[in-house]
Each structure stands twice: as C-alpha cells, then as structure tokens.
Chains A and B, each alone.
Chain A
Amino acid sequence: MCDSKELLVSFLYDEIDPAEKHAFQRHLSTCVECRDELAALGATRAQVALWTPPDGDLGFRIVREAESPKRRWFQLSPAWGLAAAAMLLVAIGAAIANLDIRYGSDGLVVRTGWNHVNPAPQSADSNVTPVEWKAQADQLDRRLRELEQTMSARAGSPVQNASASDLSDAELLHRVRDIVGQSETRHERMVATRLTELMREYDAQRRLDLATIDQGMTRLQNSSGVTKDLVQRLLVRTAYDAK
C-alpha cells in the first residue's frame, strides 16, 4: 500500500471510496512513513493555499460593437466639396464683379463689391479704346521730343527759330507744365483703360467658369435628389448674401 501514491493522494483530498478509505486508515495506523508523508503533503497544501492572485477590479463585460453613428440629415461628400468650392468662387466673383473703377475730378477711384456705392455715370474718357490711348501716348512722346529739341536748340545757338525764340522762360515753363500735366492725365487714363480691359477679360472668364460650374451643378443635381436640394439652398443663400 505504501507504493500506491494514487491511494495516498485520494486519501489526502478525501476523494476516495469509503472501503478504500477505511483500509488506508488501517494502514496509516501501522505505517509511520505514509503517515509522515501524508502530514507533510497536508502542510504543503496549507502553504499552497496562501498564494493569492493580485486584487483589482476586473470589470469584464461583453458589449456589442458600437453601432455606427446615426446617419445625419446630410453627409459630407466630394460633391459637397465641389459645391463649396463653387460657392466660394461665385462669392469671389460677385465681389469682384462689383469692382468700380472711375476716373473723375477726384482722380482714379477703385471700389470693390463689398463697398456698396451707387454706380457713378461712366466717364466718356473711360471709353477710350486701346488703339486710342496708344496713339495718344505716341503723340505725347512726339511732343516731348519736340520740346527737348527746342530747348536744346535755344541753349546751343544764339540764332533761334522765331517761334521758339519768341517764348519767354515763364511761357516755356508754363508750356512744359501743361504738357506734363497732360501727360499725367493721359497716363491715368491709360491705367484706368487697362484696368477696364482687365475687368472685361476677367468677366468673360468668370462667365465661362460659371457656365462650367453650372454644368457641374446640373450633373450633381441629377445624381442625387438630396444634393440637388442642398445645392439649391446654397445657391439661394449665396444670392441672398450677395444682395
């Protein structure tokens, strides 16, 4: 019986058939070795029981996967990005389209669309075509050259052209000032004319862009009813803001 460690273990854990238990108890009363071993293993069991795992909240809980967030009444999409970009372009265009360039008694005036002013009657001078201002510039250049030649002739030779020699210094100075004044005036007109030209070119390009955007919007509107509705709202809103 001493060789049967299985019986010893069964007795140790009290998981043994009653008949076997009774027989083993009888054996223990006569076998010191088995009795000592049983006591030692019992002591070891008591020591083993002192090992406890760390405390701490575990709080395990099975949860369903988080549901996907509720669908919003709208969702951002590439179409929205395109629409936003289009709106921005329209807004900028609307602002620049109100660009007011005038030339009058108070000089050159440039106003953007954000400064809502009553449009002033367009000056007749601002209708100068590019060909005209170029001709005027050439004419001014010729007159300046003539003036330079006249001054040079007077300083270099005592024999003067009658028309030139008859002019006093004061008259000549007045004439120069007059020419310079005309030159400045023409220069300002040239700038205004160039700006008008640029605005016409820009306006043509803007119309082209808007037509392209409009086509894109039409495609978007056709592709989605929701998008269509939203684009319309945006267009209405933009028109309202532009007023």
Chain B
Amino acid sequence: MGGDLDSFNQLVLRWERPIYALAYRVIGREEDARDVAQETFLRAFRALKGFKGQAKFSSWLYRITLNLCRDWIRRERRTPLVQAPEGVDVIELAGEGTPSETVEELVSRHEIGRAVAKAMSQLPEEQRTAIILKEYHGLTFQEIADLLDCPLSTVKTRLYQGLTVLRKQLRDAGVESTFGK
C-alpha cells in the first residue's frame, strides 16, 4: 500500500467526507475544516510507511485530524464558531429533504441543526469531541478512549455531561418542544 497513490486515493475517496465532517464539527469553520481534512490525508500519506496496522485506518485518520484540530484551536486561540446563514432558504431546503417531509418539517430540521451547532460550539472541547465521535462517527467508548488517551469512564462522563448541557441549551433555545420526551 505504501506509496501506491491509486490505492491511497481510494481510501481518500472513502474517508474524505467523514474526516471533513469531523473537522468541521470540531472547529466549526468550513474552509478551515477543509484545510484540516486535506492536511490529514497529506500527513497520512507521508506517514503511511509508519502505519503498522496496530489500529484501524479510520482511527488513525481520526487521530491525525483531531491533532490538527487541536493545533488549529490552539493557534487561533478561539472557540469554534459555527458559520450558519442567518435566513432560511426554503427552496434550497426543499431540495435537501425527503419526499415525505413537509416544508415546515424541513425548516424545523434546519433550525434544530443550527441550534445544535451553536450549542455544540459552546461545549468544552473534550465533551464536544467525545459527542462528535460517538454520535456522528459511531465509535465505541473504547475507541474514543484510545483516541483521546483517557480512561473509559472519562469518556462516559464527558458524554453524559455534554449531552446534559446540550439538552439544557436546546431547551432554552425552544428546540426541545419539537421532539419532546
């Protein structure tokens, strides 16, 4: 696999979207997330010979991405800022939805997404990262613990605390009523 561009580019094609999504959710900036994702693959390719397969390839990519995100946050010295449009383009939204969704449901989903993004950006980085890896990437507790170099119990605590804060913030934003208990 080492040095085989075609093979590696197959992996890039397979993982570019999840890696970009991870970077975007952690740092909250579209262009910077794109740069981070691009740099992730570049570093992975350069370090490919050093990858012995001791971890899943995806976990290896996630680790590189998270390290780059941490560097970005440290360098920028700022909390993630989710860039979201002020208004809602209903026509554009209609193209995103499923045939069974009404426009109201589409708008509601979009608004909730924005509220979640805002609430997530206000979480401490450790909690935010744990939730992102669990909710959007389906990693196990153990995989998250390995990636974040922390005990399993710490991962669970971060998840619980993060979800609890999100729940409160979304409720304060008037989002909770949509889904309710």
- Total A residues in contact with B, Cβ cutoff 8 Å: 30
Instruction: Report yes or no: A62 in contact with B176, Cβ–Cβ below 8 A.
Output: no
- Cβ-based interface call for A13 (8 A): yes
Instruction: Report yes or no: B156 in contact with A54, Cβ–Cβ below 8 A.
Output: no
Instruction: Report yes or no: B17 in contact with A51, Cβ–Cβ below 8 A.
Output: no
Which residues of chain B in 1-32 are interfacial with respect to chain A, using CB atoms and an 8 Å cutoff?
A: 5, 8-9, 12, 16-17, 20-21, 24-25, 30
Instruction: Report yes or no: B120 in contact with A51, Cβ–Cβ below 8 A.
Output: yes
Q: In the complex the two chains form, what is the Cα distance from A10 to B144 in whole Å?
A: 14
Residues of B within 8 A of A47 (CB): 112, 115-116, 166, 170, 175-176, 178-179
A41-B163, A58-B17, A60-B12 known; A53 and B109 CB under 8 Å? no
The stretch from A1-9, A20-28, A156-164, A191-199 touching chain B is: A1-9
Checking A10, A40, A49, A62 against B156 with a beta-carbon cut-off of 8 angstroms, the contacting residue is: A10
- Cβ-based interface call for A134 (8 A): no
Instruction: Report yes or no: B116 in contact with A43, Cβ–Cβ below 8 A.
Output: no
Residues of A within 8 A of B21 (CB): 53
- Cβ-based interface call for B135 (8 A): yes
Instruction: Report yes or no: A50 in contact with B167, Cβ–Cβ below 8 A.
Output: no
Q: Which 8 A-B pairs have the closest CB atoms?
A: A51-B116, A44-B167, A53-B24, A6-B156, A5-B160, A9-B156, A53-B21, A50-B113
A: residues with CB less than 8 A from B are 5-6, 8-10, 13, 15, 36, 39-41, 43-54, 58-64
